[in-house]
Protein backbone atom coordinates (compact mmCIF):
# COMPACT_ATOMS: atom_id res chain seq x y z
CA UNK A 1 0.00 0.00 0.00
CA UNK A 2 1.20 3.53 -0.76
CA UNK A 3 1.00 6.41 1.69
CA UNK A 4 -2.28 8.30 1.50
CA UNK A 5 -3.43 11.70 2.73
CA UNK A 6 -7.08 12.29 3.61
CA UNK A 7 -8.80 15.61 4.23
CA UNK A 8 -11.79 15.28 6.55
CA UNK A 9 -14.43 17.99 6.40
CA UNK A 10 -15.03 17.28 10.09
CA UNK A 11 -13.33 14.77 12.39
CA UNK A 12 -13.98 13.49 15.89
CA UNK A 13 -10.75 14.30 17.74
CA UNK A 14 -10.24 14.11 21.48
CA UNK A 15 -13.96 14.15 22.21
CA UNK A 16 -14.95 17.08 20.00
CA UNK A 17 -15.73 17.86 16.37
CA UNK A 18 -12.89 19.62 14.57
CA UNK A 19 -13.16 21.05 11.05
CA UNK A 20 -10.76 20.74 8.11
CA UNK A 21 -8.58 17.89 9.37
CA UNK A 22 -5.68 16.39 7.43
CA UNK A 23 -4.98 12.73 8.26
CA UNK A 24 -1.87 11.11 6.81
CA UNK A 25 -1.65 7.33 6.58
CA UNK A 26 1.78 5.78 6.02
CA UNK A 27 2.58 2.69 3.98
CA UNK A 28 2.30 0.54 7.13
CA UNK A 29 -1.34 1.61 7.52
CA UNK A 30 -0.77 3.80 10.57
CA UNK A 31 -1.47 7.48 11.07
CA UNK A 32 1.63 9.67 10.91
CA UNK A 33 -0.02 13.09 11.10
CA UNK A 34 -3.31 14.65 12.23
CA UNK A 35 -3.62 18.35 11.46
CA UNK A 36 -6.90 20.18 12.15
CA UNK A 37 -7.60 23.64 10.82
CA UNK A 38 -6.44 23.12 7.22
CA UNK A 39 -9.22 24.77 5.18
CA UNK A 40 -7.70 23.83 1.83
CA UNK A 41 -7.27 20.10 1.05
CA UNK A 42 -3.60 19.34 0.28
CA UNK A 43 -2.74 18.49 -3.29
CA UNK A 44 -3.31 14.81 -3.97
CA UNK A 45 -5.41 14.26 -0.85
CA UNK A 46 -8.74 12.40 -0.78
CA UNK A 47 -11.68 14.38 0.53
CA UNK A 48 -13.95 12.83 3.17
CA UNK A 49 -17.18 14.87 3.33
CA UNK A 50 -19.10 14.49 6.57
CA UNK A 51 -18.00 13.55 10.08
CA UNK A 52 -15.01 11.20 10.21
CA UNK A 53 -14.79 9.05 13.34
CA UNK A 54 -12.56 6.12 14.27
CA UNK A 55 -13.60 2.95 12.46
CA UNK A 56 -16.56 1.22 14.05
CA UNK A 57 -16.03 -2.12 15.82
CA UNK A 58 -18.61 -4.91 15.66
CA UNK A 59 -17.69 -6.88 18.76
CA UNK A 60 -20.09 -9.80 18.26
CA UNK A 61 -21.00 -11.46 14.98
CA UNK A 62 -22.28 -14.80 13.77
CA UNK A 63 -21.78 -14.28 10.03
CA UNK A 64 -24.04 -17.15 8.94
CA UNK A 65 -27.01 -15.67 10.83
CA UNK A 66 -27.21 -13.07 8.07
CA UNK A 67 -28.89 -15.81 6.02
CA UNK A 68 -31.79 -15.80 8.50
CA UNK A 69 -32.81 -12.19 7.92
CA UNK A 70 -36.43 -12.08 6.78
CA UNK A 71 -36.86 -15.86 6.97
CA UNK A 72 -37.21 -15.89 10.76
CA UNK A 73 -39.68 -12.99 10.65
CA UNK A 74 -42.18 -14.71 8.34
CA UNK A 75 -45.22 -15.95 10.21
CA UNK A 76 -43.80 -15.25 13.67
CA UNK A 77 -46.08 -15.79 16.63
CA UNK A 78 -48.59 -18.60 17.07
CA UNK A 79 -48.38 -19.67 13.42
CA UNK A 80 -44.62 -20.08 13.65
CA UNK A 81 -45.02 -21.96 16.91
CA UNK A 82 -47.37 -24.43 15.24
CA UNK A 83 -44.97 -24.78 12.29
CA UNK A 84 -42.18 -25.79 14.62
CA UNK A 85 -44.32 -28.06 16.74
CA UNK A 86 -44.15 -25.89 19.83
CA UNK A 87 -47.01 -25.18 22.15
CA UNK A 88 -45.96 -21.61 22.90
CA UNK A 89 -45.50 -18.53 20.71
CA UNK A 90 -42.33 -17.96 18.70
CA UNK A 91 -39.25 -17.56 20.88
CA UNK A 92 -35.48 -17.80 20.93
CA UNK A 93 -35.80 -21.57 20.93
CA UNK A 94 -37.96 -21.74 17.77
CA UNK A 95 -35.64 -19.21 16.12
CA UNK A 96 -32.72 -21.48 17.03
CA UNK A 97 -34.27 -24.39 15.14
CA UNK A 98 -34.27 -22.37 11.89
CA UNK A 99 -30.71 -21.26 12.62
CA UNK A 100 -29.55 -24.87 12.93
CA UNK A 101 -31.18 -25.77 9.62
CA UNK A 102 -29.12 -23.10 7.86
CA UNK A 103 -25.94 -24.04 9.72
CA UNK A 104 -26.28 -27.64 8.56
CA UNK A 105 -25.99 -26.57 4.90
CA UNK A 106 -22.77 -24.58 5.15
CA UNK A 107 -19.46 -25.75 3.70
CA UNK A 108 -16.11 -23.94 3.78
CA UNK A 109 -16.76 -22.76 0.23
CA UNK A 110 -20.32 -21.54 0.78
CA UNK A 111 -19.36 -19.99 4.11
CA UNK A 112 -16.58 -18.01 2.43
CA UNK A 113 -19.02 -16.66 -0.18
CA UNK A 114 -21.59 -15.70 2.42
CA UNK A 115 -19.10 -14.22 4.89
CA UNK A 116 -17.31 -12.16 2.25
CA UNK A 117 -20.63 -10.56 1.32
CA UNK A 118 -21.60 -10.07 4.97
CA UNK A 119 -18.27 -8.46 5.82
CA UNK A 120 -18.60 -6.25 2.75
CA UNK A 121 -21.99 -5.16 4.08
CA UNK A 122 -20.27 -4.39 7.37
CA UNK A 123 -17.64 -2.29 5.62
CA UNK A 124 -20.42 -0.35 3.91
CA UNK A 125 -21.89 0.23 7.39
CA UNK A 126 -18.60 1.75 8.56
CA UNK A 127 -17.37 -1.33 10.43
CA UNK A 128 -13.61 -1.73 10.17
CA UNK A 129 -13.17 -4.61 12.63
CA UNK A 130 -15.42 -7.57 13.48
CA UNK A 131 -15.35 -10.10 16.28
CA UNK A 132 -16.54 -13.36 14.74
CA UNK A 133 -17.90 -15.73 17.42
CA UNK A 134 -17.14 -18.87 15.44
CA UNK A 135 -18.36 -22.36 16.35
CA UNK A 136 -19.12 -23.98 12.96
CA UNK A 137 -15.91 -25.98 12.98
CA UNK A 138 -16.57 -29.34 11.32
CA UNK A 139 -18.73 -30.98 8.68
CA UNK A 140 -22.31 -32.02 9.55
CA UNK A 141 -22.23 -35.01 11.87
CA UNK A 142 -18.88 -33.88 13.28
CA UNK A 143 -16.63 -35.25 10.52
CA UNK A 144 -13.35 -33.32 10.42
CA UNK A 145 -12.32 -31.50 7.27
CA UNK A 146 -8.86 -32.24 5.89
CA UNK A 147 -7.87 -28.91 7.39
CA UNK A 148 -9.59 -28.96 10.80
CA UNK A 149 -9.71 -25.16 10.67
CA UNK A 150 -11.15 -24.93 7.17
CA UNK A 151 -14.24 -23.04 8.33
CA UNK A 152 -12.24 -20.56 10.40
CA UNK A 153 -9.78 -20.04 7.58
CA UNK A 154 -12.71 -19.30 5.27
CA UNK A 155 -13.85 -16.53 7.61
CA UNK A 156 -10.37 -15.01 7.85
CA UNK A 157 -10.05 -15.07 4.07
CA UNK A 158 -13.53 -13.57 3.66
CA UNK A 159 -12.73 -10.65 5.95
CA UNK A 160 -9.47 -10.07 4.10
CA UNK A 161 -11.20 -9.92 0.72
CA UNK A 162 -13.87 -7.60 2.12
CA UNK A 163 -11.14 -5.31 3.41
CA UNK A 164 -11.90 -5.35 7.15
CA UNK A 165 -10.08 -6.62 10.23
CA UNK A 166 -11.27 -9.70 12.08
CA UNK A 167 -10.73 -11.21 15.48
CA UNK A 168 -11.70 -14.84 15.03
CA UNK A 169 -13.12 -15.85 18.40
CA UNK A 170 -12.79 -19.58 17.99
CA UNK A 171 -15.50 -21.04 20.20
CA UNK A 172 -15.46 -24.09 22.42
CA UNK A 173 -18.86 -25.83 22.22
CA UNK A 174 -19.07 -29.33 23.72
CA UNK A 175 -22.54 -29.91 25.15
CA UNK A 176 -26.20 -29.33 24.33
CA UNK A 177 -26.92 -28.59 27.95
CA UNK A 178 -25.71 -29.29 31.46
CA UNK A 179 -24.50 -32.88 31.33
CA UNK A 180 -25.98 -33.55 27.88
CA UNK A 181 -24.19 -34.69 24.74
CA UNK A 182 -24.34 -32.50 21.60
CA UNK A 183 -27.44 -33.08 19.51
CA UNK A 184 -27.29 -33.91 15.80
CA UNK A 185 -26.95 -30.26 14.79
CA UNK A 186 -24.30 -29.47 17.38
CA UNK A 187 -21.96 -32.34 16.46
CA UNK A 188 -20.23 -30.12 13.92
CA UNK A 189 -19.60 -27.54 16.66
CA UNK A 190 -17.83 -29.90 19.06
CA UNK A 191 -14.19 -30.93 19.28
CA UNK A 192 -15.05 -33.53 21.95
CA UNK A 193 -13.08 -31.87 24.76
CA UNK A 194 -11.53 -28.53 25.64
CA UNK A 195 -8.06 -30.05 25.19
CA UNK A 196 -8.94 -31.10 21.63
CA UNK A 197 -10.39 -27.64 21.02
CA UNK A 198 -7.16 -26.05 22.25
CA UNK A 199 -5.04 -28.30 20.02
CA UNK A 200 -7.07 -27.39 16.95
CA UNK A 201 -7.28 -23.65 17.58
CA UNK A 202 -3.56 -23.45 18.34
CA UNK A 203 -2.91 -24.18 14.67
CA UNK A 204 -4.73 -21.01 13.60
CA UNK A 205 -2.49 -18.07 12.75
CA UNK A 206 -3.33 -14.42 12.50
CA UNK A 207 -1.90 -11.82 10.16
CA UNK A 208 -1.82 -8.05 9.78
CA UNK A 209 -5.61 -7.81 9.64
CA UNK A 210 -6.63 -10.96 11.54
CA UNK A 211 -6.13 -11.97 15.16
CA UNK A 212 -7.12 -15.16 16.97
CA UNK A 213 -9.11 -15.11 20.18
CA UNK A 214 -11.15 -17.62 22.14
CA UNK A 215 -14.74 -18.03 23.21
CA UNK A 216 -16.78 -20.19 25.54
CA UNK A 217 -20.13 -20.57 23.85
CA UNK A 218 -22.00 -20.56 27.18
CA UNK A 219 -21.97 -22.34 30.52
CA UNK A 220 -24.53 -24.80 29.15
CA UNK A 221 -22.27 -25.68 26.19
CA UNK A 222 -18.93 -26.09 28.01
CA UNK A 223 -18.88 -28.40 31.03
CA UNK A 224 -17.66 -26.84 34.23
CA UNK A 225 -14.49 -28.95 34.36
CA UNK A 226 -13.49 -27.69 30.89
CA UNK A 227 -13.87 -23.94 31.47
CA UNK A 228 -10.41 -23.41 32.91
CA UNK A 229 -8.76 -24.99 29.85
CA UNK A 230 -10.30 -22.42 27.53
CA UNK A 231 -9.59 -19.54 29.89
CA UNK A 232 -6.00 -20.72 30.31
CA UNK A 233 -5.45 -20.94 26.56
CA UNK A 234 -6.52 -17.30 26.17
CA UNK A 235 -4.51 -16.11 29.17
CA UNK A 236 -1.30 -17.73 27.94
CA UNK A 237 -1.62 -15.87 24.63
CA UNK A 238 -2.97 -12.57 26.01
CA UNK A 239 -5.91 -13.19 23.69
CA UNK A 240 -9.45 -11.90 24.11
CA UNK A 241 -11.95 -14.35 25.58
CA UNK A 242 -15.70 -13.98 24.95
CA UNK A 243 -18.69 -15.85 26.35
CA UNK A 244 -22.47 -15.76 25.91
CA UNK A 245 -23.78 -15.00 29.40
CA UNK A 246 -27.30 -15.16 30.82
CA UNK A 247 -28.99 -14.48 27.51
CA UNK A 248 -31.99 -16.56 28.56
CA UNK A 249 -33.63 -17.03 31.95
CA UNK A 250 -33.89 -20.75 31.13
CA UNK A 251 -30.09 -20.94 31.04
CA UNK A 252 -29.86 -19.29 34.45
CA UNK A 253 -32.42 -21.65 35.95
CA UNK A 254 -30.70 -24.73 34.52
CA UNK A 255 -27.31 -23.56 35.78
CA UNK A 256 -28.60 -23.01 39.30
CA UNK A 257 -30.26 -26.42 39.24
CA UNK A 258 -27.09 -28.13 38.00
CA UNK A 259 -24.48 -26.27 40.05
CA UNK A 260 -26.23 -24.15 42.65
CA UNK A 261 -24.75 -20.96 41.17
CA UNK A 262 -25.63 -18.40 38.55
CA UNK A 263 -23.64 -18.55 35.28
CA UNK A 264 -21.66 -15.44 36.26
CA UNK A 265 -20.62 -16.97 39.58
CA UNK A 266 -19.69 -20.21 37.84
CA UNK A 267 -17.45 -18.33 35.39
CA UNK A 268 -15.87 -16.32 38.20
CA UNK A 269 -15.10 -19.43 40.22
CA UNK A 270 -13.31 -21.01 37.25
CA UNK A 271 -11.10 -18.10 36.27
CA UNK A 272 -13.04 -16.93 33.22
CA UNK A 273 -13.84 -13.34 34.22
CA UNK A 274 -11.30 -10.52 33.93
CA UNK A 275 -10.26 -7.49 31.85
CA UNK A 276 -9.55 -9.52 28.69
CA UNK A 277 -12.95 -11.22 28.90
CA UNK A 278 -16.15 -9.94 27.33
CA UNK A 279 -19.54 -11.27 28.37
CA UNK A 280 -22.04 -11.07 25.52
CA UNK A 281 -25.66 -10.05 26.28
CA UNK A 282 -25.55 -10.37 30.10
CA UNK A 283 -29.29 -9.75 29.98
CA UNK A 284 -30.58 -11.50 33.07
CA UNK A 285 -28.20 -10.78 35.95
CA UNK A 286 -28.56 -10.62 39.71
CA UNK A 287 -27.06 -7.67 41.61
CA UNK A 288 -24.31 -10.04 42.69
CA UNK A 289 -23.62 -10.98 39.08
CA UNK A 290 -23.26 -7.30 38.17
CA UNK A 291 -20.74 -6.81 40.96
CA UNK A 292 -18.75 -9.85 39.83
CA UNK A 293 -18.49 -8.53 36.28
CA UNK A 294 -17.81 -4.94 37.25
CA UNK A 295 -15.27 -5.60 39.98
CA UNK A 296 -13.31 -7.93 37.69
CA UNK A 297 -13.40 -5.31 34.89
CA UNK A 298 -15.01 -7.88 32.61
CA UNK A 299 -16.36 -6.16 29.50
CA UNK A 300 -19.92 -6.57 28.29
CA UNK A 301 -21.02 -6.57 24.66
CA UNK A 302 -24.58 -5.41 24.21
CA UNK A 303 -26.46 -6.44 21.05
CA UNK A 304 -29.75 -4.52 21.32
CA UNK A 305 -31.13 -5.22 17.85
CA UNK A 306 -30.78 -8.97 18.37
CA UNK A 307 -31.88 -8.89 21.99
CA UNK A 308 -35.12 -7.16 20.99
CA UNK A 309 -35.57 -9.29 17.85
CA UNK A 310 -35.40 -12.46 19.94
CA UNK A 311 -37.46 -10.96 22.77
CA UNK A 312 -34.60 -11.65 25.17
CA UNK A 313 -35.07 -8.53 27.27
CA UNK A 314 -33.15 -5.38 28.14
CA UNK A 315 -29.87 -5.96 29.93
CA UNK A 316 -28.62 -3.84 32.85
CA UNK A 317 -26.04 -1.99 30.73
CA UNK A 318 -26.04 1.20 32.79
CA UNK A 319 -25.62 -0.70 36.05
CA UNK A 320 -22.83 -2.78 34.56
CA UNK A 321 -20.93 0.29 33.41
CA UNK A 322 -21.32 1.94 36.81
CA UNK A 323 -19.98 -1.25 38.40
CA UNK A 324 -16.83 -1.10 36.25
CA UNK A 325 -17.58 -3.06 33.06
CA UNK A 326 -16.63 -1.34 29.79
CA UNK A 327 -19.35 -1.68 27.16
CA UNK A 328 -19.01 -2.65 23.50
CA UNK A 329 -21.59 -3.28 20.79
CA UNK A 330 -22.37 -6.07 18.34
CA UNK A 331 -24.85 -6.88 15.61
CA UNK A 332 -24.91 -10.58 16.62
CA UNK A 333 -27.63 -12.23 14.49
CA UNK A 334 -27.55 -9.42 11.90
CA UNK A 335 -31.26 -8.65 12.03
CA UNK A 336 -29.68 -5.41 10.88
CA UNK A 337 -26.01 -4.50 10.50
CA UNK A 338 -25.80 -1.00 11.91
CA UNK A 339 -23.52 -0.20 14.85
CA UNK A 340 -24.95 3.32 15.03
CA UNK A 341 -28.36 1.74 15.63
CA UNK A 342 -26.87 -0.55 18.29
CA UNK A 343 -25.41 2.49 20.08
CA UNK A 344 -28.66 4.43 19.85
CA UNK A 345 -30.71 1.42 20.93
CA UNK A 346 -28.66 0.90 24.08
CA UNK A 347 -29.63 4.37 25.28
CA UNK A 348 -33.22 4.26 24.02
CA UNK A 349 -33.91 0.80 25.47
CA UNK A 350 -32.64 2.03 28.84
CA UNK A 351 -35.00 4.99 28.56
CA UNK A 352 -37.92 2.62 28.01
CA UNK A 353 -36.82 0.47 30.92
CA UNK A 354 -36.31 3.34 33.38
CA UNK A 355 -38.62 5.99 31.91
CA UNK A 356 -35.72 8.42 32.23
CA UNK A 357 -33.42 9.98 29.61
CA UNK A 358 -29.71 10.64 29.42
CA UNK A 359 -27.96 7.47 30.55
CA UNK A 360 -25.13 7.90 28.04
CA UNK A 361 -24.00 10.92 26.08
CA UNK A 362 -23.35 10.66 22.36
CA UNK A 363 -19.56 10.72 22.96
CA UNK A 364 -19.89 7.84 25.44
CA UNK A 365 -21.92 5.80 22.97
CA UNK A 366 -19.44 6.61 20.22
CA UNK A 367 -16.66 5.31 22.46
CA UNK A 368 -18.54 2.03 22.95
CA UNK A 369 -18.84 1.76 19.17
CA UNK A 370 -15.15 2.46 18.56
CA UNK A 371 -12.42 2.39 21.22
CA UNK A 372 -14.08 0.00 23.66
CA UNK A 373 -15.20 -2.30 20.87
CA UNK A 374 -11.65 -2.55 19.55
CA UNK A 375 -10.35 -3.18 23.08
CA UNK A 376 -12.82 -6.05 23.48
CA UNK A 377 -11.41 -7.60 20.30
CA UNK A 378 -7.75 -7.28 21.27
CA UNK A 379 -6.98 -4.21 19.12
CA UNK A 380 -7.17 -1.65 21.92
CA UNK A 381 -3.55 -0.54 21.70
CA UNK A 382 -3.80 -0.01 17.95
CA UNK A 383 -7.26 1.17 16.92
CA UNK A 384 -10.34 3.09 17.98
CA UNK A 385 -8.88 6.61 17.88
CA UNK A 386 -7.67 9.14 15.32
CA UNK A 387 -4.17 9.80 16.62
CA UNK A 388 -0.60 9.56 15.41
CA UNK A 389 0.55 5.95 15.74
CA UNK A 390 -2.93 4.46 15.60
CA UNK A 391 -4.14 2.36 12.70
CA UNK A 392 -5.65 4.52 9.96
CA UNK A 393 -9.14 3.02 10.32
CA UNK A 394 -11.76 5.67 9.61
CA UNK A 395 -15.50 5.92 9.08
CA UNK A 396 -17.13 8.99 7.53
CA UNK A 397 -20.83 9.66 8.20
CA UNK A 398 -22.79 12.05 6.02
CA UNK A 399 -24.10 15.17 7.75
CA UNK A 400 -26.21 16.27 4.79
CA UNK A 401 -28.63 13.37 4.27
CA UNK A 402 -32.35 13.56 4.93
CA UNK A 403 -31.67 12.02 8.34
CA UNK A 404 -28.70 14.15 9.36
CA UNK A 405 -29.17 17.54 7.70
CA UNK A 406 -29.99 20.50 9.93
CA UNK A 407 -27.98 20.36 13.17
CA UNK A 408 -24.77 22.42 13.33
CA UNK A 409 -21.49 20.60 12.82
CA UNK A 410 -20.58 20.96 16.50
CA UNK A 411 -23.40 18.48 17.18
CA UNK A 412 -21.96 15.99 14.72
CA UNK A 413 -21.57 13.22 17.31
CA UNK A 414 -25.15 13.65 18.53
CA UNK A 415 -26.40 13.66 14.95
CA UNK A 416 -24.41 10.56 14.03
CA UNK A 417 -25.44 8.52 17.07
CA UNK A 418 -29.07 9.57 17.42
CA UNK A 419 -30.12 10.14 13.80
CA UNK A 420 -27.75 8.55 11.29
CA UNK A 421 -27.97 4.96 10.06
CA UNK A 422 -25.60 2.69 8.19
CA UNK A 423 -27.06 4.17 4.99
CA UNK A 424 -25.35 7.44 5.91
CA UNK A 425 -21.86 5.93 5.92
CA UNK A 426 -20.08 7.53 3.02
CA UNK A 427 -16.49 6.31 3.38
CA UNK A 428 -14.67 3.49 5.15
CA UNK A 429 -10.88 3.43 5.37
CA UNK A 430 -8.98 0.44 6.82
CA UNK A 431 -5.23 0.75 7.36
CA UNK A 432 -5.23 3.77 5.07
CA UNK A 433 -6.94 1.79 2.30
CA UNK A 434 -10.11 3.32 0.90
CA UNK A 435 -12.41 0.28 1.14
CA UNK A 436 -15.73 2.09 0.73
CA UNK A 437 -15.78 5.27 -1.36
CA UNK A 438 -18.91 7.39 -1.66
CA UNK A 439 -20.96 4.44 -0.41
CA UNK A 440 -19.60 1.94 -2.94
CA UNK A 441 -17.47 -1.02 -1.92
CA UNK A 442 -14.19 -0.95 -3.82
CA UNK A 443 -13.22 -4.63 -3.39
CA UNK A 444 -16.43 -6.68 -3.55
CA UNK A 445 -18.54 -5.85 -6.61
CA UNK A 446 -22.34 -5.71 -6.36
CA UNK A 447 -22.62 -6.52 -2.66
CA UNK A 448 -26.45 -6.87 -2.65
CA UNK A 449 -26.26 -9.41 -5.46
CA UNK A 450 -23.47 -11.28 -3.65
CA UNK A 451 -25.59 -11.44 -0.51
CA UNK A 452 -28.67 -12.59 -2.42
CA UNK A 453 -26.81 -15.33 -4.28
CA UNK A 454 -24.98 -16.72 -1.24
CA UNK A 455 -28.13 -16.73 0.88
CA UNK A 456 -30.32 -18.27 -1.82
CA UNK A 457 -27.84 -21.12 -2.13
CA UNK A 458 -28.46 -21.99 1.53
CA UNK A 459 -32.24 -21.93 1.24
CA UNK A 460 -32.52 -23.52 -2.20
Q: Which residues are catalytic?
A: 281, 332
Strand order through the sheet with 210-216: 56-61, 127-134, 165-172, 210-216, 241-245, 277-281, 299-302, 327-329
The one-character DSSP state at 319 is H
3-class DSSP state of 460: coil
Task: Note whether 310 and 249 are within 8 A (CB).
Answer: no
β-strand 31-35 against 16-25: which pairing, if any?
antiparallel
- Gap between the Cα atoms of 157 and 171, Å rounded: 18
Strand ranges inside 348-414, DSSP E: 394-397
Report yes or no: 330 and 376 within 8 Å, Cβ to Cβ.
no
Of residues 338, 337, 317, 313, the one with CA closest to residue 328: 317
Give the span between the Cα atoms of 428 and 426, in whole angstroms. Answer: 7
Residue 68 carries which DSSP code?
A: G
**Residue among 45, 1, 38 nearest 21 (CA):** 38
Contacts of residue 106, Cβ cutoff 8 Å, sequence gap at least 6: 64, 114, 136, 151, 458
Q: What is the phi-psi region of residue 358: left when phi exceeds 0, alpha when psi lies from -120 to 50, beta otherwise?
A: left
Name the burial class of residue 274, with classes exposed (0-12), middle (13-18) and buried (19+) by CB atoms within 10 angstroms of its CB.
Answer: middle
Distances (CA, A) of 262 to 95, 218, 272, 277: 25, 12, 14, 17
Q: Which long-range contacts (CB under 8 A, 24 or more apart) does 145-154 make?
A: 145/108, 148/200, 148/203, 149/200, 149/201, 149/203, 149/204, 150/108, 151/106, 151/108, 151/111, 152/204, 153/108, 153/204, 154/108, 154/109, 154/111, 154/112, 154/115
* Nearest alpha-carbon partner for 171 in 206, 197, 202: 197
Number of Cβ within a 10 Å radius of residue 180: 12
Cα atoms in the 13 Å half-sphere on the side-chain side of 10: 18
* Phi, psi for 251 (deg, rounded to 5): -65, -45
Amino acid sequence: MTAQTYWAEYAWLGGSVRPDVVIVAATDGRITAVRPGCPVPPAGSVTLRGLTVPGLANAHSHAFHRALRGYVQAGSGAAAADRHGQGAPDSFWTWRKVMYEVADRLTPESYFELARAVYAEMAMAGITCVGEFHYLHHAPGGTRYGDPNAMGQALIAAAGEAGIRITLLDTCYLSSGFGAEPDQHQLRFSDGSADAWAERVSALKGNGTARIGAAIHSVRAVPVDQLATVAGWAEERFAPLHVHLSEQTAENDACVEAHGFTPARLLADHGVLGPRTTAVHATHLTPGDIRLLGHSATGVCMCPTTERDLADGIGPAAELQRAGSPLSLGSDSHAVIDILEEARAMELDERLHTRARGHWTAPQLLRAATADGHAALGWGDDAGRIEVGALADLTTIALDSVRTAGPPSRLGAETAVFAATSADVRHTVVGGRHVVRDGAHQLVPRVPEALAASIAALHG
